[in-house]
A = this chain, B = another copy of it.
């Protein structure tokens, strides 16, 4: 393993607002960041294109995209085109946009890359405020994943600890925006919309768009999102 001056971290980067902010936070903490995106058959492929741009803009050391056909399992509005993306505001319970085991799978892939890089730190932009209905955005899930990771790998056997960092898990969207702006994130290049068009322009109506827009309004800053 190379031993760079700065410790390495793997940062899960969807191309959305939250994960872009998390990349900026990880860089600000002094990590050499390796950005990882997962193409799991989601509708919003424009997010993946945005991830490559964000990764460069925020100074990641590298960016990889793993393709993975979760759509063949079905069960989510984000991967199954026969299920409509909700546009009527956030409902109680687990939303149809929940993708089974998504964060578990993405963290597992981050573990694999971290192990070959010799990295001990993984960052993920989960948020338990806006996505309170998602089981795998809760702090107790992250803690259990970290405990499992510390038994799963070569590094664990050799006594090194892996940490899963969730720096925006308990922040309101407006606070995430404020934090990112302080760190120089250009939110115009991020894409959050569940049904963005090929150019990354947002619908303005889905849950992700509503939460995002409210974040800029609450933070008292202009919304740089490109709407169609």
A residues near B, CB below 8 A?
64, 66-70, 72-75, 94, 98-105, 108-109, 111-113, 115-116, 135-136, 138, 140-141, 144-145, 147-149, 151-154, 156-157
Contact = CB atoms under 8 A, between A and B. Distances in A.
Given A100-B112, A104-B108, A108-B105, A148 B151 contact: no
Contact of A153 (B70, B100, B112, B154): B100
A68 B39 CA distance: 10
B75 A101 contact: no
5 contacts: A66-B68, A101-B109, A105-B105, A135-B157, A145-B148
Contact of A101 (B99, B108, B141): B108
A214 to B, nearest CB: 25
A100 B115 contact: yes
Q: How many subunits of this chain does the assembly comprise?
A: 2
Chain A interface main SS type: helix
A151 B140 contact: yes
Q: What 8 A-B pairs have minimum CB-CB distances, sorted nearest first?
A: A75-B116, A101-B112, A100-B115, A144-B148, A101-B111, A105-B108, A100-B112, A141-B151
A69 B149 CA distance: 20
A136 B151 CA distance: 7
Contacts of A74: 116
Contacts of A115: 75, 100-101
> Residue among A101, A108, A111 with the most chain B CB within 10 A?
A101
Contacts of A67: 67-69
Contacts of A147: 144, 147-148
